[in-house]
């Protein structure tokens, strides 16, 4: 059997790894986006008490490598009697880490939004949360879609770090196949192809989002 | 944590620092070379490099490190761990740097080129004396930003057994049975390294703004 045939016969392993990577990616992308939006919402308002601690949290995250946070959750938390499985630790680290980045991206665009809209919305009787969800957030998302797309690709690439804390994702699949059959090159080429395909799909959907944005008059982003 | 644990941590930090520094130096220069080659738009090579950049930007560092280290022997080359790590980090950062250089070259004003041609400069003199010095300054903030991304991605090299600043926490906790303090200390050291780069980026931005192009 040639090396490629061996890989084809063990395609289940790849599919499982691919499925796991996509699941982890989707869950943490959605949760991180929600966390980021929540952080931005909590940082605005007339007298936000939380502004300073949140600022420190976001800046702290931006100066840490992702793997250190994953280590902290997986190896460090058991000292405080909190035990997470590798999967839980990995996903919660991804959410917390990228939530901070999403918050920073959204905040950067938030400060350039004109205050006239807010005043108009307040005059029309919008409450602060509903104004944020219906007026501010959609604009921020459409404006920052390019940077957001890059961040999503970074998030996808960070899922590969989870192989180090023993999560069974795509890179782990290639690693175990390559050590079982000793065909490292082919196994990793397949996996790199998978990652590439996901990234290209992400880029494409960002482009589609851009077209939607242009229809609504956000060609400047 | 006693002094020997701190010593190990500092050793790990040193490993992270020198491997990152070598990859950064290689990556910036190679990125510049690739950007220049792409600028010439040679028929086949242009697409080839474009594919490389697109792929290298989509591949996770962990996967790349494992790929290079494990598939080296299939080609009959037995790579040293450090060399494999530097190769992977360089391949990754070169792709990003090439895009940074390329966008700086593309955004460069055409008027200056025409002026240089008018006073009789050869294309090489024009590039060397006028274009390069200015693009270095304008792309410096982005390059430094990419450097801090590289440091943040560098724990990936732990996967092939290099004892870097992340991996060393395992070694310490294997002795002390308390993983929390070394991980927090490593986090502090990373913050120091990356904070230093962010500070450098701020200075670079100020310089770039003063040029105001």
Does residue A81 fall inside a structural domain? yes
R_g over Cα of chain A: 21
Domain that includes residue B100, residue range:
3-211
Q: Residues B141-165: what's their mean pLDDT?
A: 89
Domain that includes residue A58, residue range:
3-215
Nearest chain A residue to B150 by CA distance is A65
Nearest to A1 by CA among A200, A220, A210, A183: A183
Give the contacts of B164 (CB within 8 A, at least 6 positions apart): B12, B15, B16, B19, B154, B155, B157, B158
In this predicted structure, the answer to whether residue B40 has a pLDDT above a threshold of 70 is yes
pLDDT for the residue A221:
46
CA–CA min distance A218, chain B (Å): 22
In this predicted structure, the answer to whether residue A220 has a pLDDT above a threshold of 80 is no
Cα separation, A177 vs A74, in Å, equals 25
CA–CA min distance A34, chain B (Å): 24
pLDDT for the residue B91:
94
pLDDT for the residue A3:
78
Q: Residues A16-42: what's their mean pLDDT?
A: 93
Cα separation, A136 vs A140, in Å, equals 6
Q: How many domains does chain B have?
A: 1
Q: Exposed (0-12), middle (13-18) or buried (19+): which is A196, by Cβ within 10 Å?
A: middle
pLDDT for the residue B176:
82
Q: Greater confidence, A114 or B90?
A: B90
Contact call for B154 and A65, based on CB within 8 A: yes
Q: What is the DSSP string of A145-202?
A: HHHHHHHHHHHHHHGGGGGTTT--SHHHHHHHHHHHHS-HHHHHHHHHHHHHHHHHHH
Question: Per-residue pLDDT tens for B194-208?
Answer: 998 888 888 888 877
Which CATH number do you get for residue A163?
Answer: 1.10.3720.10
Nearest to B170 by CA among B7, B8, B2: B8
pLDDT for the residue B212:
57
Question: Per-residue pLDDT tens for A36-55?
Answer: 999 999 888 767 778 888 88
Question: Per-residue pLDDT tens for B9-23?
Answer: 899 999 999 999 999
> CB-CB: which of B58, B152, B179 is closest to A195?
B58
pTM to 2 decimals?
0.87
> CB-CB: which of A67, A71, A195 is closest to B59?
A195
* Surface of A (159-188) touching B: CB under 8 A: 159-161, 163-164, 170-171, 174-175, 178, 184-185, 188
ipTM confidence:
0.84
Q: Does B209 touch chain A (CB under 8 A)?
A: no
Question: Per-residue pLDDT tens for A97-113?
Answer: 999 999 999 988 888 88
* Surface of B (69-88) touching A: CB under 8 A: 70-71, 74
Between A26-35, A45-54, A128-137, the lowest mean confidence (pLDDT) is in A45-54
> CB-CB: which of B66, B173, B195 is closest to A63?
B195
Contact call for A164 and B158, based on CB within 8 A: yes
Does residue A221 fall inside a structural domain? no
Q: Residues B125-131: what's their mean pLDDT?
A: 89
Nearest chain B residue to A175 by CA distance is B66
Does residue A133 fall inside a structural domain? yes
Does residue A186 fall inside a structural domain? yes
């Amino acid at each position: 059997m040639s090396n490629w045939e061996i890989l084809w016969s063990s395609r289940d392993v790849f599919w499982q790894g691919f499925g796991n990577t996509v699941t982890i990616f989707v869950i943490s992308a959605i949760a991180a986006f929600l966390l980021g939006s929540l952080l931005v919402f909590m940082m605005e308002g007339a007298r936000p008490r939380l502004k300073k601690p949140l600022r420190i949290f976001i800046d702290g995250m931006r100066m840490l490598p992702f793997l250190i946070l994953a280590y902290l959750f997986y190896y460090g938390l058991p000292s405080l009697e909190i035990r997470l499985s590798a999967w839980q630790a990995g996903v919660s680290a991804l959410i917390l880490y990228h939530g901070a980045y999403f918050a920073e991206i959204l905040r950067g665009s938030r400060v350039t939004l004109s205050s006239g809209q807010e005043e108009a919305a307040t005059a029309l009787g919008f409450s602060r949360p509903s104004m944020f969800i219906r007026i501010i957030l959609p604009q921020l998302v459409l404006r920052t879609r390019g940077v957001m797309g890059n961040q999503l690709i970074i998030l996808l690439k960070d899922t590969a770090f989870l192989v180090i804390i023993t999560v069974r994702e795509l890179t782990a699949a290639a690693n175990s196949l390559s050590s079982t059959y000793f065909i490292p090159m082919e196994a990793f080429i397949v996996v790199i192809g998978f990652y590439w395909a996901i990234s290209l799909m992400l880029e494409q959907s960002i482009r589609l989002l851009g077209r939607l944005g242009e229809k609504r008059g956000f060609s400047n982003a | 944590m006693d002094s020997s644990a701190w010593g190990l941590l500092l050793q790990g930090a040193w490993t992270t620092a020198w491997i990152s520094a070598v990859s950064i130096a290689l990556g910036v220069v190679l990125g510049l070379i690739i950007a220049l080659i792409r600028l010439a738009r040679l028929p086949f090579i242009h697409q080839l490099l474009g594919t490389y950049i697109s792929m290298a930007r989509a591949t996770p560092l962990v996967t790349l490190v494992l790929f290079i280290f494990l598939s080296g022997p299939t080609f009959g080359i037995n790579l040293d761990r450090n060399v494999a790590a530097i190769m992977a980090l360089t391949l990754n950062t070169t792709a990003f740097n090439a895009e940074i250089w390329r966008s700086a070259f593309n955004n460069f004003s055409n008027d200056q080129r025409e002026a240089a041609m008018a006073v009789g400069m050869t294309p090489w003199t024009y590039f060397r004396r006028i274009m390069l010095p200015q693009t270095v300054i304008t792309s410096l903030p982005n390059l430094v930003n990419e450097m801090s991304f590289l440091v943040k991605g560098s724990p990936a090299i732990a996967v092939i057994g290099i004892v870097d600043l992340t991996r060393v926490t395992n070694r310490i906790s294997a002795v002390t049975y308390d993983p929390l303090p070394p991980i927090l200390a490593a986090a502090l050291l990373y913050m120091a390294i990356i904070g230093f780069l962010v500070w450098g980026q701020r200075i670079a931005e100020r310089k770039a703004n003063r040029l105001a192009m």
